[in-house]
A = this chain, B = another copy of it.
Amino acid sequence: MAQQHLDPAASPVAGSTLAAYLQAQATEFLRALRVQREGGGASNGTQESVDAARALRRSARRISGTLHTFRPLLDADWSESMRPELAWLSGTLAREHAYAARLERLLNALHRLSGTVAVPQQATASPAAAVAGRAGAEPAGPAQRAQPATDRGNLTVGAAKAGALLERQLTLARTRAHSAALQALGSSRFHAVADSVAVLASEVPLAPTAPPKKLTPLAAEAECRLTDAVAALPLMTAGHPYNAEALVHGLSADAAPHPQDAPWHQVRLLLRLHRYALEVLHGEGGTVDMRLHNAGQALNRHRDAAEAATAASAAARTPRIAPATAYALGVLHADQRHEVEAARFAFQRAWSREAVGTG
């Protein structure tokens, strides 16, 4: 069906491989959407609905990334109009999870810094589910026996107050993100995206004329963009442990996120596009490239720690907090910036490992 758009003189294999991948992702998107709707019309905090939201984001990212990398093979107008809509959707759906994960990371760090054992939170569940899950939890093994209330007793006042402040702020942000996601899922804008994806599942709008390039060269270009961006990273510094680079400007007057983080975030996105392009070429079930996997994990950790550090310093700007609270947030900020540095080190190690193996 997809091939009918394609000039027969062009690359039918490229077109059909690409179409098959996009159709599979679109089908996955629609399946997740159905689960979501059956579970009450929107994410209602059950594990099923959380998994469905994750699957929605996952396929939306893959469709969007594939439209970008293989642009010349696809109908230009259609893919240009679809990408920002998919980005809006996956961004909106991702926010709730991101706030929950950020809070979990920060509370775990506070517990570590206070020498107490943290209770693993259910980062992926909605606020309601998290509360329910925690209240109903049975005492587990020794490592999990400590309950939040007990832990707090061992914290300094400052750390406890910092934890409470972060919990308040990030839970509020999460609740707002939850409402925004619900609203988005009920919006006509979302229905238009869902309709486009439904079309995609049955018929991929390939470029009507012979594409100038085929699948492999386009995937190679995506890899080039990645390796160029990695080459521009300060990997020499990052590979030197305890370089203290991530905390530089940590107290500068500029309240914006560290500008030094941007190239790393960019590499994270390019790595993802490269990974999706490999999926198009070799299928999703292919062998996992452990180097890419580890490098990607390091960059996820980099992003999470950078955002957690920003959340800690933002919380410290709350008016009328006690000095002890601010002190704890300062320690926490620096701790997370240290995590940023550790993640860069891990990325450097992961990336250079393969280079040695290949070279």
A132 to chain B, nearest CB (A): 30
Q: Please judge, given known A-B contacts A114-B249, A327-B326, whether A242 and B338 are in contact too, CB under 8 Å.
A: yes
Interface residue? A333 (CB, 8 A): yes
Residue of B nearest to A159 (CB): B251
Which of A21-29, A50-58, A193-201, A316-324 lines the interface with chain B?
A: A316-324
Chain A, 94-143, CB within 8 A of any chain B CB = 110, 112-115
A338 to B241, CA, bound (A): 11
Chain B residues near A114: list those with CB within 8 A.
249, 251-253
Chain B residues near A158: list those with CB within 8 A.
251
- Are the C-beta atoms of A113 and B241 separated by less than 8 Å? no
A242 to B330, CA, bound (A): 19
DSSP majority for the A interface? helix
Residue of B nearest to A334 (CB): B334
Interface residue? A229 (CB, 8 A): no
Chain A, 330-359, CB within 8 A of any chain B CB = 330-335, 338-339, 341-342, 345
Among B113, B242, B326, B338, the residue within 8 A (CB) of A251 is: B113
Interface residue? A244 (CB, 8 A): yes
A342 to B330, CA, bound (A): 20
Among B159, B248, B335, the residue within 8 A (CB) of A244 is: B335
Chain B residues near A112: list those with CB within 8 A.
244, 247-248
- Are the C-beta atoms of B342 and A241 separated by less than 8 Å? yes
Q: How many residues belonging to A are interface residues under a CB distance threshold of 8 Å?
A: 42
Q: Please judge, given known A-B contacts A326-B324, A345-B241, whether A250 and B331 are in contact too, CB under 8 Å.
A: yes
A313 to B115, CA, bound (A): 17
- Are the C-beta atoms of A156 and B244 separated by less than 8 Å? no
Among B113, B253, B313, the residue within 8 A (CB) of A247 is: B113
- Are the C-beta atoms of B331 and A333 separated by less than 8 Å? yes
- Are the C-beta atoms of A330 and B338 separated by less than 8 Å? no
A247 to B154, CA, bound (A): 16
Chain B residues near A184: list those with CB within 8 A.
none
Interface residue? A329 (CB, 8 A): yes
A251 to B332, CA, bound (A): 9
A sample of 5 inter-chain contacts (CB < 8 A) reads: A110-B251, A115-B249, A247-B338, A250-B331, A321-B323
- Which 3 residue pairs across A and B have the least CB separation, nearest first? A330-B330, A334-B334, A242-B342
